[in-house]
Structure formats: structure tokens, C-alpha cells
Structure 1
Amino acid sequence: MLSIGIITRGKYGRRLLDTITRRTEFTVSSADIPPTLPDFIDDPAPFVDNLDLDPGVLSSDLLITYSLNPDITPEIVERAASAGAKAVIIPGGWAMAGDPEQMKEISAQYGTRILVEDICCDIGGDTYSPDPTINEFASVLGRPKLEVQVGDGKISNVKVICGAPCGSTWWMAEHLKGVPVSEAPAWAGLLVQQYPCRAVRGMTGGIHHSAELHKRAMEAAIKKYYGDND
């Protein structure tokens, strides 16, 4: 059974912790860091020492760190890798992850797979480089995959095969019941944007990319339903 450690920072990472507990059979542990950090941390090692992170969290099969700070994230990742973590996921994109070259060096030294994603509901995409640990996680949490049932031209049930780590896919699924099939993909995208996800909001990317992923997942599920029931 996959063990997952989560570094939370204030509100960030809490929904993932809840989703893993409610929706999966993975074992999970967490350690929290302060929501407010200095603007610049010149010497990350002693700073991370003072955070007193639980070694058991760092040594999980998979560490997901919401440290969201380019100064301390590489230090946390290296400590996890040296403690035996097989893979590390860093949400928030490279702006929050730190130096890509440093991450490559850590990965090469310890054999730890390091994945940096802007949004976690894109984990497990078609262009994704296979890794057993992350693939096990992404079989349940990551890019959405759905199955639907239809009655009288309306969605009667939505089964979440794989859902967003924040939990938005399950919330969307509940609210799609009774929606006309022709409108369901658009509603899927809209509902995900209404869910209080932490993804970046703006004109492009972030929550809008998540909405598009869920729209496509609903389109694929409807296509499969009618293909299976021809």
C-alpha cells in the first residue's frame, strides 16, 4: 500500500489530505509549516531544521510538498530523497519549486522521481513519463476519468474512476445528476470552477485548465457510454 506524506502550509494541502483519507486506501501522514514565511531565506538548511518536520512524513513512498517557496522546497525535497522517498510531487509550478538544475541533481543522486505540476489534476496525463510510485497515486488521484449512466437523455449517475486531488471531481459528479447529456460537458467545466479549489484563477491556466480537463473527461465518458450501449 502506497504511503503518502504531505507537507501542508496553512490552508494549502488540507484538501488533498482530506481527499486521500476519504477517497483512497493509501496511508497518509502530514507535517505543517507556517503559512507566513520570510520573503527570502538565505540559508535554508537551518531554517528547515527549525521546522522540525516529522522524519516519518519525509520518508513516505511519495512526498507531496505544499511548501510553495523556492528557497526551502529544494531542501525539503533533498531531505525526503535522502530519507528514502521514492517520488516527490511539487504543486504550484517551477516558480514555487526552486532551481530545476538543483532538482535534477537531487533526483540523480538519490534516484527519486521529482514531478513539478502547476495543477495536481493534470497528474497522469498522456505525455506523462511513467513512474511506478506516481502512477499508483495517479490511478486514483490526478487527471479526471469518469463513467456515466444516462436515463431519459439526462445524466443519472457519475462514477469517479480518478479525480482531482482537491476533491472537486467528486463534488462535480454529485451536481451533474439530472443535467441533460448535451449540456453535461459544459456543466462539468463550470462546476469545477465553482468549487473552492486553490488553483490559480485568472484569464488562462490554473482553474481554467482544470475545467477543460473535466469537460474532456465528461465528453469521453458520454462517448464511452453510448459506444457500450449501441
Structure 2
Amino acid sequence: MSPRSAPNSHSGAAQLRDDAARHTAGRSRPVGLWPHPVRGSEWLPRGLARQLRGWLEEMGVVCVTPKPLCSLTETSYNVRRHRIDYDDPLIAEFARYFGKPEFRITVDPETRSIAEVEVIRDAVCGCGRFVAEGLVGVSADDAEFKAGMLHHHYPCLAGMGKDIDFNDTIMHISGNILKEMVAEQVKPYKQEVYIVPGKRSE
């Protein structure tokens, strides 16, 4: 039985397999980028994604299926225990510029506010650059929260249905990727607040 006619197979993904092989002629292609990102398991279940990569590998085509798309780096994609490493120069070249957002954040040590944000790698949708512009002038203490809010207000293409692989929405996973990256860079400048219990008044 062919993959196209197999029970419970996703006809769109099966069509994607054939089209990818025909259009790439043995070259690499990050499937999450064409025709559109993997929005959730309902679009491309994990098992079918594995099959798709196998089918294309047999045709000499390297395939990556990042979920979310903004988890793609030059060497891996996906997050947590679902992370998958890959080795392909064409996809890696694309991922140098688009995929998992990466910033170089400069913080003014006196004011502890963000003075500059250089975008090393943007998300494919442009969300990274949008967030970077909105972070300038923000206190290091508030940067992580602000990054999350900016991401939330950007027209993210990730799905809002709960994904069975993460028990969370792909949009939230996408936002957390960005927030964690910002939090790590501003951490040395954050002001620690310690709460000391007061004495009970007589």
C-alpha cells in the first residue's frame, strides 16, 4: 500500500512528499518552511513527520520538520525531548538567518535598561525583529515579560490548539523560546529582590 493511500495518512503531507522530491531534485529542503510551518500535531503528527523524513531520505532529499518553526537552528530543531539534530549545509545556511530568534542585547550597566538589541537570527515571520525593536529602553527586570507580551501581540502563525507532544499550544512554545533567550542575556543585570519577614508587632 502506498503512503498516499495508507489509512489515517494525511493526504496533504503525502502530496508534500511527492512535490518536495520533484521540485528539489535531490536537494535539501526544510519542510517546515514550505508550503507552511508545522502549526501542530493535527497538521503533521509526529509519526507521519518521521515517515515523511524517511520517504524523502530514500529520494536523497534532507527534510526537517521544525515545530515550532522558530525552533530551527543550524544544527537542530524542535525543543525539549523532541529535539532532533540534523547535518545539512543548505538548511543550515538558511537557519543562519531565519529560525530560532537570536539576539545580542546590550544593557546600560548604570540604568540597567536595554540600550541596543542586534538581531543575529530572526524568526521566519519577522517576530524576532519586532520584539527586538520593542525591547530598547526596557529595564532588565522587565525584559522577559515584555518580550512575551510583544510576541503575544505579533501575528504569530503558530497554532493555538493544545499540541499533544507538548501538552501546550505551539504559540506558547514559540513565545517561551524567545522569552528564555532574552532572560538569559539580561540575567546579569537583573536586580534580585529579597523579602525579609518583619517582626510581629506587639
Same fold? TM cut 0.5: yes
Query: Following superposition of structure 1 onto structure 2, how do residues 216-227 of structure 1 map, counting pairs within 5 Å?
Result: 216-223=180-187
1:93-119 CA-partner distances (Å, limit 9, x unpaired) = 564358443541321232x21011222
Whether 1:72 and 2:15 are equivalent positions in the alignment is yes
What amino acid is the match of 2:154? Y
1:225 to 1:123, Cα distance in 2 relative to 1, 3 A: farther
Query: Following superposition of structure 1 onto structure 2, how do residues 195-206 of structure 1 map, counting pairs within 5 Å?
Result: 195-202=154-161, 204-206=168-170
8 Å CA contact retained: 2:140, 2:187? no
1:190 to 1:160, Cα distance in 2 relative to 1, 3 A: same
* Residue matched to 2:43: 96
Paired residues in the alignment total 159
Q: Could you state the TM-score of these two structures normalised by the residue count of structure 1?
A: 0.60
Q: What's the % identity of the aligned pairs?
A: 26
* CA deviation after TM superposition for structure 1 residue 86, in Å: 2.4
Whether 1:116 and 2:58 are equivalent positions in the alignment is no
1:202 to 1:96, Cα distance in 2 relative to 1, 3 A: closer
Greater alpha carbon shift after TM alignment, 118-127 vs 98-107: 98-107
Greater alpha carbon shift after TM alignment, 112-121 vs 161-170: 112-121
1:142 to 1:113, Cα distance in 2 relative to 1, 3 A: same
* CA deviation after TM superposition for structure 1 residue 215, in Å: 0.7
8 Å CA contact retained: 1:146, 1:160? yes
Whether 1:87 and 2:29 are equivalent positions in the alignment is yes
Where structure 1 has 5 or more consecutive residues not aligned to the other structure, the ranges are: 1-41, 44-67
* CA deviation after TM superposition for structure 1 residue 150, in Å: 1.8
1:181 to 1:193, Cα distance in 2 relative to 1, 3 A: same
Calculate the aligned-residue CA RMSD, in Å. 2.7
Q: Secondary structure at the match of 1:159?
A: strand
Q: Distance in 2 between matches of 1:177 and 1:75?
A: 45
Q: Which of 104, 107, 120 lines up with 2:57 in the alignment?
A: 107
Q: Secondary structure at the match of 2:115?
A: strand
Q: Which of 176, 184, 191 lines up with 2:135 in the alignment?
A: 176
Q: Distance in 1 between matches of 2:93 and 2:188?
A: 24
Greater alpha carbon shift after TM alignment, 190-199 vs 217-226: 217-226
Q: Distance in 2 between matches of 1:208 and 1:78?
A: 32
What amino acid is the match of 2:17? P
Structure number, greater radius of gyration: 2
Q: Could you state the TM-score of these two structures normalised by the residue count of structure 2?
A: 0.68
Q: Which of 86, 96, 100 lines up with 1:139 in the alignment?
A: 96
Q: Distance in 2 between matches of 1:223 and 1:134?
A: 32
8 Å CA contact retained: 1:155, 1:178? yes
Q: Distance in 1 between matches of 2:178 and 2:116?
A: 16
Between 1 and 2, higher relative CO (CA 8 Å, sep ≥ 6) is seen in 2
1:26-55 CA-partner distances (Å, limit 9, x unpaired) = xxxxxxxxxxxxxxxx79xxxxxxxxxxxx
Q: Which of 118, 127, 131 lines up with 1:159 in the alignment?
A: 118
Q: Distance in 1 between matches of 2:59 and 2:152?
A: 40
1:105 to 1:70, Cα distance in 2 relative to 1, 3 A: closer
* CA deviation after TM superposition for structure 1 residue 70, in Å: 2.5
What amino acid is the match of 1:105? W
* CA deviation after TM superposition for structure 1 residue 71, in Å: 4.1
